[in-house]
């Protein structure tokens, strides 16, 4: 379980080699004269309990990515209200051997939409592809920010409906709907009315991943803004740009959720510009 060298902070995932969090977070730490205390570690989901024990004894903070955002929860001592509501944890703070769980994915999407499209989430009509850990946190953020409507499209319609029902219990100013991702007629109708399309599944991490939807549906709405949480060029983003649609990858979401994590760990506001510079560096 030990990383190759000692770090106070880690990002864990499976896979995790692609993560830009170390260079981004270390740039923020360096800008405040705090060195480079952040690394990354691949953790098998079956060994998450072993990792939790390691973290209690050795770390100050952790970022979690796919597929650890839910499986870590039984090992956390206390959840923030946001993490408890959405049952998703992407940030751990370790104090005196206790694990405190937080979700900063919501802060990430709000910052990314603001930075990339110069709009807030309030009053938007949104189509969201996915119903996993990141999607759960983002759905709650859309509700808390009072988006007008959110259509959750997922391969498992039952999972999409379960997420919609969960968020409805907390967020009463936003209309949440669930549709099967395979139902192209319903997806097309939703896209035609949407201000923003959010792709928040893990599809696109690998070159051989299938596309998350029929990309020709993007033609249905020339005013659509397209956001893909994957921070690399994906077929969805390429097609959106070919059609002249405003489109953005997950870079700013990673930066803003990372900034929120940094502040949780240290009590200090990081430099967003330093984090952007770090993001663009190679290790």
Catalytic residues: 69
Between CA 110 and CA 206 the distance in angstroms is 26
DSSP state of 195: S
What CA–CA distances, in Å, run from 102 to 70, 82, 92, 94, 137? 12, 7, 6, 11, 10
Q: Which two tokens stand for residue 31?
A: 């800008």
Phi first, then psi, for residue 2 (nearest 5°) are -70, 130
Radius of gyration of the chain (CA): 18
Between CA 11 and CA 63 the distance in angstroms is 4
Beta-carbon contacts of residue 106 (< 8 Å; ≥ 6 apart): 82, 86, 137, 138, 140, 141, 144
Between CA 89 and CA 246 the distance in angstroms is 30
Q: How are beta strands 196-199 and 125-129 bridged, if at all?
A: parallel
Between CA 91 and CA 202 the distance in angstroms is 18
- The neighbour count for residue 97, using CB atoms within 10 Å, is 10
- The neighbour count for residue 164, using CB atoms within 10 Å, is 20
Q: Is the dihedral of CA 20, 69, 56, 17 positive or negative?
A: negative
Q: What angle do CA 104, 9, 253 make, to 5 degrees?
A: 30
């Amino acid at each position: 379980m030990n990383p190759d060298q000692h770090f106070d902070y880690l990002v864990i995932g499976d896979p995790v080699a692609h993560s830009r969090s170390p260079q981004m977070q270390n740039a923020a730490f360096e800008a405040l004269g705090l060195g480079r205390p952040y690394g990354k570690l691949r953790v098998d989901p079956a060994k998450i309990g072993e990792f939790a024990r390691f973290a209690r004894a050795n770390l100050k903070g952790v970022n979690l990515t796919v597929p650890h955002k839910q499986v870590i929860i039984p090992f956390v001592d206390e959840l923030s209200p946001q993490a408890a509501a959405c049952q998703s944890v992407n940030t751990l703070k370790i104090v005196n051997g206790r694990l405190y769980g937080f979700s900063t994915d919501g802060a990430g999407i709000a910052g990314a939409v603001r930075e990339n499209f110069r709009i807030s989430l309030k009053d938007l009509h949104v189509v969201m592809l996915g119903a996993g850990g990141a999607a759960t946190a983002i759905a709650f953020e859309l509700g808390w920010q009072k988006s007008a409507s959110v259509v959750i499209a997922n391969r498992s319609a039952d999972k999409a409906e379960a997420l919609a029902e969960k968020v409805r219990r907390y967020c009463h100013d936003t209309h949440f709907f669930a549709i099967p991702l395979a139902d192209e007629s319903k997806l097309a109708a939703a896209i035609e009315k949407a201000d923003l399309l959010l792709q928040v599944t893990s599809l696109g991490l690998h070159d051989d991943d299938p596309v998350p939807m029929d990309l020709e549906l993007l033609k249905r709405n020339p005013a659509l803004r397209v956001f893909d949480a994957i921070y690399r060029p994906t077929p969805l983003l390429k097609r959106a740009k070919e059609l002249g649609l405003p489109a953005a990858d997950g870079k700013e979401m990673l930066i803003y959720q990372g900034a929120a994590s940094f502040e949780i760990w240290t009590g200090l506001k990081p430099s967003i510009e330093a984090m952007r510079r770090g993001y663009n560096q190679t290790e």
